[in-house]
Amino acid sequence: MITLAVDCMGGDHGPRVTLAACRQFLDSHSDAHLLLVGKPDELGAFRHERASIVAASEVVGMDDPVEVALRKKKDSSMRVAIAQVKDGAASAAVSAGNTGALMAISRYLLKTLDGIDRPAIAFGLPNAKGGDTTMLDLGANVDCTAEHLLQFAVMGSALVAALKNDEAPSVGLLNIGEELIKGSEVIKRAGELLRTAGEAKALNFYGNVEGDDIFKGTVDIVVCDGFVGNVALKSTEGVASMISGILKQEFKRNIFTKIAAIISYPVLTALMKRVDHRRYNGAALLGLRGLVFKSHGSADAIAFEHALNRAYDAARNNLLDRVRSRIAVAAPLLLAAQTEQETSAP
Amino acid sequence: MITLAVDCMGGDHGPRVTLAACRQFLDSHSDAHLLLVGKPDELGAFRHERASIVAASEVVGMDDPVEVALRKKKDSSMRVAIAQVKDGAASAAVSAGNTGALMAISRYLLKTLDGIDRPAIAFGLPNAKGGDTTMLDLGANVDCTAEHLLQFAVMGSALVAALKNDEAPSVGLLNIGEELIKGSEVIKRAGELLRTAGEAKALNFYGNVEGDDIFKGTVDIVVCDGFVGNVALKSTEGVASMISGILKQEFKRNIFTKIAAIISYPVLTALMKRVDHRRYNGAALLGLRGLVFKSHGSADAIAFEHALNRAYDAARNNLLDRVRSRIAVAAPLLLAAQTEQETSAP
């Protein structure tokens, strides 16, 4: 039996969406149990033999500052859900609540794994090969060191290994065009560390990749700092939504284009399905002593169910143990990297 | 009369593309004169009353390292074209050659303007409002300081003012979601500098923007360091090309979808026109004592002509003087920022 703790109050829509997703999820996973965390009067109507309600009297708002979420709302559904993981009552927690608060509370309650300085947010983006490219970090850390990037590569490899049953997923280091100055000092050093880790078989390092490689599917995992990752993610969301906006506008232009839209319906549906962000919902917070998954705040029931599926798969495939054992393999390298950095620091 | 120096040998296609574009350009600009720089035997067949050939015996290859381009090939078409600008024979130079070499040679021959530490690459990206958002830097500088970002904002404002006749274009600072840690120390400090510059009316500062704002058209100019800018640019190219690839694949799936493609032709053409990268060709190298424009290496004649148009418009609207006078206005701020940085440095 796999037990997940669900923050049912989080996200833009709260229980209306999360409970619908939980029902769907339970119906398709016969060995799953859910702890529905939230206000009992809003969750009480939900009945399922493999679901139980865990009361929490407060809700972290989407605009709540991290400090408020962390220090004032000690009985929030988000915090209680994560506490279930800490206490061993659940194998993973899922929330659509605000990312900053989720990361801060997770870090506070669960602590980071030995060998990991900073947790990272990892997410799968659709690629032209029909699969997805896992990217991390997507915004938990700005100003990363080369050592952090190496840690991200190790954690990302464990995540993809757990979710896709591929023991040696390839890792690319996000960099800029070779015709220009090749990356910053941090990136150059990260490249060296990753190459060393690759040679030691601690991971499968492909080399540098560029922004377009994310969507070409050149590698399984793309590693970058949280600032760059967040900008890349939001930029691509922006361009995709601009293109779909133009398509809609142009198909609505006149009676002929409207007919064209109807005739093209199967094509447009196929396109939407391939790039449907709902299918890619569910980011992993990696590097903690427990599994936490983040759903997009605006997720609908289908999208939230995908986040639940991802958390379930991760728990079922022992993601936490895999991260731990990969860190153990990479530990000498991580330690050497840190020592080297300290001795070379001014 | 506006005179442009054209590196006719640069890019993936060389004279075949550049000369065709030059002819189109001359036919539509009666007050333009072109200096066609390159190997006389490859350009000799071109005849136009407002074009003259300037001989250069070497060509910078697309894969040539910067050092080779700069130190070994002293008679390259790229270098001779830039030298025309330095000598006052041309108002601007245009090249489709490799970016690193173009930046290095431009910087070496032309030098940077007073008050500018580093030149930047600026480029207009299509936005949902039907206009374009100018983004800089796109890869000339990694590891930028807050002062560099302020300089980019000043130069970008001058560029948009010159090309669009808008004296107070809005500037956004590229940052990451407010729910997370808001940017690095450099970005926070850049925000302060930009706010001060905005209050002093040295520029029109909007505030922070995120990746998707580039394509929403929230501001006229988006400022970021070259690493982030380059990743954002390449990532969005990647996702756009993935979407167009899926559309092509799905429209070719069977006889019905093929018919749908034919019926949808006007819609797809309109889409392609709106996001056609050829229309957006021509990046400005800003911050130098002379105008240099960079065309995409793979540009066809239509795209290369757009780069020529952009250089022509910039020269005609006195971009260089505008950058100079905006720097003069912002000079006390730039100086104050630098002094502050120096005194606060360890």
pLDDT band at B49 (very low <50, low <70, confident <90, very high): very high
What is the pLDDT, as a whole number, of residue B182? 61
Whether residue B192 sits in one domain with residue B58: no
Comparing alpha-carbon positions, the chain B residue that sits nearest to A263 is: B260
* Tokens representing residue B114 in the block: 């007073």
Give how far A342 is from chain B: nearest CA, Å: 18
Q: Span A92-104, mean pLDDT? A: 93
| Tens digit of each residue's pLDDT (9 = 90 or more) over A134-186 | 999 988 888 889 999 999 999 999 999 988 888 899 999 999 865 445 667 88
Q: Is the same domain home to B99 and B144? A: no
End position of a domain, from candidates B58, B92, B110: B110
**pLDDT value at residue B343:** 59
Domain boundary residue among B80, B110, B140?
Answer: B110
Domain that holds residue B122: 114-280+318-346
Residue A51: Cβ within 10 Å count: 19
B309 part of a folded domain: no
Q: Is residue A298 part of a domain?
A: no
| Residue A17 in domain | yes
Q: Are both B69 and B171 inside the same structural domain?
A: no
B336 and B222 within one domain? yes
Q: Note if the bond before A137 is cis, omega within 30 degrees.
A: yes
- Evaluate the omega torsion of the peptide bond into residue B137 and state whether it is cis, within 30 degrees of 0: yes
Residues of A298-326 as b/e, b for ≥16 C-beta within 10 angstroms? ebbbebbbbbbbbbbbbbbbebbebbbeb
- A306 within a domain of the structure (yes/no): no
In which band, very low, low, confident or very high, does the pLDDT at B178 lie, cut at 50, 70 and 90? low
Residues A288-304 pLDDT 10s: 999 999 999 889 999 99
**How far are the Cα atoms of A32, B43, B297 from residue B62, in angstroms, in the given order?**
57, 20, 8
> Is the CB of A228 less than 8 angstroms away from the CB of B233?
no
pLDDT score, position B330: 80
The rounded mean pLDDT for chain B is: 89
Contact between chains at A238 and B216 (C-beta distance less than 8 A) = yes
Tell me the average pLDDT across B316-334: 85
pLDDT (0 to 100) of residue A346: 44
pLDDT (tens digit, 9 = 90+) per residue, A10-51?
999 999 999 999 999 999 999 999 999 999 999 988 999 999
Residue A14, domain member (yes or no): yes
Domain check: are A91 and A172 in the same one? Answer: no
Half-sphere exposure of A96 (CA within 13 A, CB side): 30
- Amino acid A98 reads N
Residue range B221-245, pLDDT digits in tens: 999 999 999 899 889 888 888 888 8
Query: How high is the pLDDT of residue A81?
Result: 97
Chain A residues in contact with B181 (beta carbon < 8 A): 100, 140-142
Residue B99 host element (H or E): helix B99-110
Which residues of chain B have a CB within 8 Å of the CB of A102?
none
Question: Are A149 and A229 found together in one domain?
Answer: yes
Q: Do B234 and A241 touch (CB under 8 A)?
A: no
State residue B327's pLDDT score.
Answer: 85
Nearest partner of B285 among B316, B317, B323, judged by Cα: B323
Determine how many CB atoms are found less than 10 A away from the CB of residue A114.
Answer: 11
* B212/A226 touch (CB, cutoff 8 Å), yes or no: no
Whether A130 and A90 share a structural domain: no
Cβ distance of B211 and A238 shorter than 8 Å: yes
pLDDT at res. B29: 96
Higher pLDDT, A92 or A144: A92
Determine, yes or no, domain membership for A293: no
Classify residue B298: in a domain, yes or no. no
Q: At what angle do helices A77-86 and A99-110 cross, to 10 degrees?
A: 30
Exposure of A171 in the CB half-sphere (CA atoms within 13 A): 32
Q: What is the pLDDT of residue A254?
A: 85
Alpha helices (runs of H) in chain A, residue ranges in sequence order? 15-28, 40-43, 66-67, 77-86, 99-110, 146-164, 185-199, 213-216, 226-251, 255-263, 265-275, 301-316, 319-344
Pairing of β A2-7 and β A120-126: unpaired
Mutate to test the interface with A, among B132, B133, B267, B277 (most CBs of A within 10 A): B267
Q: B345 pLDDT exceeds 70? A: no
Task: Return the CATH number at A93.
Answer: 3.40.50.10950
Residue B17 confidence (pLDDT): 95
- What is the reported pLDDT for B91? 97
- What is the dihedral sign for C-alpha A70, A121, A82, A158? negative
Please report residues of B whose CB lies closer than 8 A to that of A127.
242
Residues A256, B234: Cα–Cα separation, whole Å:
35
A72 pLDDT band (50/70/90 cuts)? very high
Q: Are residues A172 and A47 in the same domain?
A: no
**Antiparallel, parallel or unpaired: β A120-126 and A132-136:** antiparallel
> What is chain A's length?
346
> What pLDDT, on the 0 to 100 scale, is given for residue A245?
85
Q: What is the mean pLDDT of residues B117-123?
A: 91
Which of these three, B48, B76, B110, is where a domain ends? B110
Residue among B12, B276, B285 nearest B123 (CA): B285
What does the pLDDT look like over A40-60, one tens digit per residue? 999 988 999 999 999 999 999
Same domain, A344 and A238: yes
Same domain, A202 and A139: yes
Predicted local confidence at residue B268, as pLDDT = 81
pLDDT confidence of A325, banded at 50, 70, 90?
confident
pLDDT at A345 > cutoff 80: no
d(CA A271, CA A269): 5
- Shared domain for A65 and A188, answered yes or no, is no
Contact A202, A235 (CB under 8 A): no
In sequence order, what are the residues at sequence separation of 6 or more whose Cβ sits closer than 8 angstroms to the Cβ of residue B87? Answer: none
SS3 A38: strand
Which residue in chain B has the smallest CA separation from A142?
A: B184
Q: Is residue A315 part of a domain?
A: no
**Over residues B67-89, mean pLDDT:** 95
How many structural domains comprise chain A? 2
Residue of B118, B174, B227, B251 for testing the chain A interface, max A β-carbons within 10 Å: B227
Cβ contacts of A222 on chain B, cutoff 8 Å:
none
Domain at B172, CATH number: 3.40.718.10
- Judge whether residue B210 has pLDDT over 60: yes
pLDDT of residue B346: 45
Question: Under an 8 A CB cutoff, do A100 and B251 touch?
Answer: no
State how far the Cα of A202 lies from the Cα of A161, in Å rounded to an integer: 13
Q: Are residues B214 and B240 in the same domain?
A: yes
Measured between beta carbons, the chain A residues lying within 8 angstroms of B242 are 126-128, 215-216, 275
